[in-house]
Structure 1
């Protein structure tokens, strides 16, 4: 129950109590971690701050990864409060709706570039900022989806974007391994989160995922949280560069 007692964890990506990041933050706290939690902007703050306070977060701060000054301020605050970091959770992604709902071949260069920056390069940037604070090693986690591996109807441009995220995580695992920093990817199954609502025909994706799963159900944000807490613990000290599916077995079905 206290596998993460004394650990300091930054969780980026909570939008509401249905967010995958909320499931992760809750599990990390239940395992004993102390939390820093971010919100996207003033509009999001009233939805996120009460959740952060519910978990007794030490730090609650804004973070729009498109604004370098907010990254600067966040890590300066973490340094002042803790002077170290043990766990980083990156659970954010974005694509312009007009590009997300169209064919990949028709996406704009600007839209594709923005999706890659927010969904992929931001993870590398946050890991770079976390690296000097992980002096005794650490764990960096990000969130992907099976559409990174196989074509999923209506997932469209997020397929190649998430594939790039998984490849980036492997490279980071290789580069940070000598410092004792592990980097892994969580790949949850389809879930009714706020972010997923932007995907066309998402209700159909949920129904199909439940039907195809060997377990006959969808995974939950609590399932993802439990897996994240394990990966952040010493029990996973030799696991890095992996993409861990949390989807009730959906990904194994032909």
Structure 2
């Protein structure tokens, strides 16, 4: 399998768990980092894992996006999977009420966290000549109100709806699109949420398995969904959260 990983930030990110699981399955990987600030944290990981392609790519930078896909076409000429593991909202909007969110903050959060998936799918579609798999990351706050999740709730809800529509549109080409909804994991991105420690404590206490998921467990689930073993699964939001979502 040959695939593109978008969203690796450091060795604590969900994407790193996915990278390790996919590499263990023998996947050839192209990995991107967002900017120069992220590079020192990501580049050693791409070297350690033996990434075939490692490049900067801010999803809002059309020049960088084009450069990555030019490299993919030159190196492989095709693609089997895409992992989209990025989300962002300005701190003021993320930590404030949805009611008070700014137009600019809401628009930016939706663009980076949701519409970027659509743009990347449009790019990978012609490379998935024999079908393929697309996976994005979500969270339970997309369907239920989770205190502190705030603006990301509506944004992730839009992301999951996009997954369903993309799955229907790309199904005739044997391209599957799914979302992986994880339990709370202590990543750098999640640390920006207010009351996150309380959220993790509640999840660990309340989930049927009474434990939090790890990036390794998330990676194992992602590797399955991106593989041919999940070839009849599409348009779904799959939970890897120790059962927390069943509590309502």
TM-score normalised by structure 2 residue count: 0.99
Return 166-175 or 230-239, whichever deviates more.
230-239
Per-residue deviation at 1:183? Answer: 0.2
How many equivalent residue pairs? 248
SS in structure 2 at match of 1:186: strand
Q: Show CA shifts across 1:11-31 (max 9, x none).
A: 011111110000011111101
Q: Show CA shifts across 1:134-168 (max 9, x none).
A: 00000000000000010000100100000000000
Q: Show CA shifts across 1:85-128 (max 9, x none).
A: 00100000000001111111111111100000000000000010
Q: Which residue of 2 aligns with 1:125?
A: 119
TM-score normalised by structure 1 residue count: 0.97
Q: Which residue of 2 aligns with 1:165?
A: 159
Taking the aligned partners of 2:21 and 2:135, their CA distance within structure 1 comes to: 14
Taking the aligned partners of 1:141 and 1:60, their CA distance within structure 2 comes to: 19
1:212 maps to 2:206: yes
Taking the aligned partners of 2:147 and 2:226, their CA distance within structure 1 comes to: 33
- Segments of 5+ residues of structure 2 without an aligned counterpart are none
Q: Which residue of 2 aligns with 1:235?
A: 229
- Among 12, 26, 45, the alignment partner of 1:32 is 26
- 1:1-254 matches, cutoff 5 A: 7-254=1-248
Per-residue deviation at 1:214? Answer: 0.6
Taking the aligned partners of 1:236 and 1:65, their CA distance within structure 2 comes to: 27
Taking the aligned partners of 1:249 and 1:73, their CA distance within structure 2 comes to: 40
Taking the aligned partners of 1:90 and 1:234, their CA distance within structure 2 comes to: 18
SS in structure 1 at match of 2:181: strand
Taking the aligned partners of 2:132 and 2:229, their CA distance within structure 1 comes to: 13
After the TM superposition, list the runs of 4 or more consecutive aligned residues in structure 1 that deviate by more than 2 angstroms: none
- Segments of 5+ residues of structure 1 without an aligned counterpart are 1-6
Taking the aligned partners of 1:121 and 1:232, their CA distance within structure 2 comes to: 21
